[in-house]
Structure 1
Amino acid sequence: MPAPARPPWVLAQRREIGHRIARHREARGWSVDDLAGAAAVGRVTVVRVETAARSTGLDVLLQLAAALEVTVGQLLDEDPAAGTRAAGGGA
């Protein structure tokens, strides 16, 4: 039996997280290969996360955050200083 379809907001949030990762990477002047090496993940993994082509696990997010010297919360929150949460299908 196929898994139920995810709500559209899940993909939208995945895209936003990917964009945040890319912005942090670009702010450091890093290429995708640079981030992959620093995070000890594959280049394809970084591309898939940044483009929301595939869901990723917490371990990869932790590795990317550590390499970028940010918290996972900074990757997940639109404005961590303001406490704005990025999640949510209207909840």
Structure 2
Amino acid sequence: MDGSTTTLSLAIGARVKQERQSRGWTLDQLAEAAGVSRRMIINVEQGAANPSIGTLLRISDALGVGLPALVEAPRPKPVKITRSGEGAALWTSRQGGLGILVAGTESPDVVELWDWTLGPGDRHGSEAHAPGTKELLQVQSGTVTVDAGDQLVTLEVGDALTFPGDVAHSYANLGTAAARFILAVFEPGVGSGHRQDSTRGQSS
């Protein structure tokens, strides 16, 4: 992990540990609630792991705080500003792909705003999120192919798409140039317990 990734991992680890301890949970209790191994929780809390977005979602859902709360320091002010370059890079690829969480709201109804870049040939797959999750995206450059449920849609610059995030889905760049899109994710009722019935995988 490079310096910025290490710093982010340590910050996420500290926040996970803080949230877990504030609930009086053991490592085993969080691991069971999140559906991940005890070793993964330990590695995340120590900043020794570079977990997938899917794993972070499982942990944040189990804690009932939402993903944005894990990657940014608590701020008392109602207006939150994320300057250019300050977003949390939670996914990278060898082709130059980058998934940056640039803003988000607190639970229970969490909205995440992402800035995604897919290098040529990149594909990011995501398991089905919690029931009721919605995703909206707009292509800023290049071409993006979205596979959601049983629909495969190719989007050009300026095209937008809304689809349910509670089905398995993926974003791919089948072109020869980099593609970029803005993604908003709405997750209702984080921490309400409805996620116990969802079946999320750990890959992302």
Match of 2:36 among 19, 37, 41: 41
Q: Which has the higher contact order (CA 8 A, sep 6+)?
A: 1
Deviation at 1:43, TM superposition (A): 0.2
Match of 2:64 among 62, 66, 69: 69
Deviation at 1:79, TM superposition (A): 2.3
The 1:84/1:43 distance shift into structure 2, 3 A limit, reads farther
Q: Calculate percent identity across the aligned residue pairs.
A: 28
Deviation at 1:87, TM superposition (A): 4.4
Count of residue correspondences: 83
Kindly name which structure, 1 or 2, has the bigger radius of gyration based on alpha carbons: 2
* 1:78 corresponds to 2:56: no
* 1:30 corresponds to 2:25: yes
Equivalent position SS for 1:44: helix
- Structure 2: state its 5+ residue gaps: 89-204
Match of 2:5 among 6, 10, 33: 10
List per-residue Cα deviations over 1:9-40 (Å, max 9, x = no partner).
22012101100000000000001111000001
Equivalent position SS for 1:49: helix
CA distance in 2, matches of 1:60, 1:23: 18
RMSD: 1.9
Task: Determine the structure 1 residue equivalent to 2:47.
Answer: 52
CA distance in 2, matches of 1:68, 1:81: 20
Give structure 1 regions of 4+ aligned residues with deviation exceeding 6 angstroms.
none
- Structure 1: state its 5+ residue gaps: none
**Residue identity matched to 2:62:** A
**Residue identity matched to 1:30:** W
Could you say which structure has the higher helix fraction?
1
